[in-house]
Structure 1
Amino acid sequence: MRTITSNQRSRSRILYFWLLILLSIFLLAFQGPVWKVPASSAAMKNPVKYAGENTIIAKGLYTKHCKSCHGKSGEGDGTKAEELKTFPGDFTTDEFQDQSDGAIFYKIRAGRDEMPAFDKKISEEDSWLLVHYLRTFQ
């Protein structure tokens, strides 16, 4: 029978510790940042109707403010996307589409990292129209 020395136990603990650190770094790197939305914002309902002229307005807003990063079909492949440090996001994914209208509205208005806040650039009504338009990328 082999006896494990305290020196071997110490080495095993150190190795185990570094493996945990490396695994944590790996998981964080591939998980991507979580965008926290206040519960009050996530619960907001879209008060704007999406019909007629509003669909044209929404498409124009997207083209002017979003398309260069998020791309023509919302897949995060716009002309400026490669210049960004972070992936701009893909509106066609279930993960994106499963968000509430209020959560999407909040993200448009507040911005984060390289995405600018649009609360001073786009009216609340137009931000809600953009929420409707982003739903068309399903």
Structure 2
Amino acid sequence: MPFKTVYSSDFYKIEVDLEGNLLLSEWLRHVTEDELITGGTKLYETLRDTQVERAIANGQILETLTQKAKDWMSYEFYELLSQTNLKKLARVLPKSVFHQLALESVITRAEALGKTRFEVKSFSDPDQALAWIIE
């Protein structure tokens, strides 16, 4: 797959394969609240601009998020993603069960609020996420 890097910083990277209709995003280190919002907004903008329908969000490196960051994700981030052509989102979660649960609670709340208009599935392994996203 010919991936092209469309956004890169010291904390986040987004690559897109337009032919394969696939986006890969990866957090490169633990992030601050502002960095999380910046990265999430860049993800939204990239999905909006490319019209890609499938994405893998690799957050294995993420640690504890602030309540404000979790609220932003639940109430705003998933709403933004729902305004794009996104059909499937595979999330690769951190190894820590505590951090997994925190991220799962965010998506559960977003789904309960009707903020997700796409399929979301969480994984612990990037290869499993890729296998699901391309099926």
TM-score range, shorter chain: under 0.3
Larger Rg: 1
- Give the structure with the higher percent helix: 1
- Structure of higher RCO (CA pairs closer than 8 Å, 6+ residues apart): 1
Taking structure 1 as the reference length, the TM-score comes to: 0.24
- Give the structure with the higher percent strand: 2
Taking structure 2 as the reference length, the TM-score comes to: 0.24
